[in-house]
Amino acid sequence: MNSQYQHLVQKLEEISHLNGVMSTLGWDQEVVMPSGAGEARAKQMAALAGVIHERMTDPALGEGLYELANRHWQTLGADEQCNVREALRNYELETKVPKRLVQEMVELSSRGHEVWVKARQQNKFADFAPVLRRFLELKIAWAQCVAPESTPYDANIDLFERGTTMAVITPVFERLKQELIPLIGAIQQHAERVDASCLHGLFALDKQEALARKISSDIGFDFSQGRMDVSVHPFCGGSHPTDVRITTRYKENNFAESLYSIIHETGHALYEQGRPHHLGDLPITESLTMGIHESQSLFWERMIAQSKPFFRHYFGLIQQTFPDNFRDADADTLYRAVNHCKPDFIRVEADEVTYPLHVILRYEIEKGLFDGSMAVDDLPEIWNAFMQKYLGITPPNDTLGVLQDSHWSSGAFGYFPSYTLGAIYACQFYRAMLDELPAIEDEIAQGNFVPVKHWLNAKIHCHGKRFTPEVLVRQVTGEGLNPGHFINYLKTKYSEIYRLAL
**What is d(CA 214, CA 421) in angstroms, rounded to the nearest whole number?**
29
Residue 491 CB neighbours (<10 A): 17
List, for residues 19-62, the tens digit of each pLDDT value. Answer: 999 999 999 999 999 989 999 999 999 899 999 989 999 999 99
Q: Do residues 250 and 230 touch, judged by C-beta distance below 8 A?
A: yes
* Residue numbers annotated as active site: 265
Q: Per-residue pLDDT for the chain (502 aa), expressed as one digit of tens each?
A: 588 999 999 999 999 999 999 999 999 999 999 989 999 999 999 899 999 989 999 999 999 999 999 999 999 999 999 999 999 999 998 899 888 998 899 899 989 988 999 999 999 999 999 999 999 999 999 999 999 999 999 999 999 998 899 999 999 999 999 999 999 999 999 999 999 999 999 999 999 999 999 999 999 999 999 999 999 878 999 999 999 999 998 999 988 988 999 999 999 999 999 999 999 999 999 999 999 999 999 999 999 999 999 999 999 999 999 999 999 999 999 999 999 999 999 998 899 999 999 999 999 999 999 999 999 999 999 999 999 999 999 999 999 999 999 999 999 999 999 999 999 999 999 999 999 999 999 999 999 999 999 999 999 999 999 999 999 999 999 999 999 999 999 999 999 999 998 7
Amino acid at 95: T
Q: How far is CA 197 from CA 188, 314, 338, 353, 380, in A?
A: 16, 19, 10, 20, 32
Q: Which residues pair with 246 in a beta bridge?
A: 228, 236
- Whether the pTM exceeds 0.85: the reply is yes
Helix (H, G, I), strand (E, B) or coil at 229: strand
List, for residues 296-352, the tens digit of each pLDDT value. Answer: 999 999 999 999 999 999 999 999 999 999 999 999 999 999 999 999 999 988 999
CA 452 to chain centre: 20
Which element (helix H / strand E) includes 226? strand 226-230
Q: What's the number of CA atoms in the CB half-sphere (13 Å) around residue 326?
A: 23
Identify the structural domains of the chain with CATH numbers, from first to last: 3-149 (no CATH), 166-498 (1.10.1370.30)
CA 333 to chain centre: 29
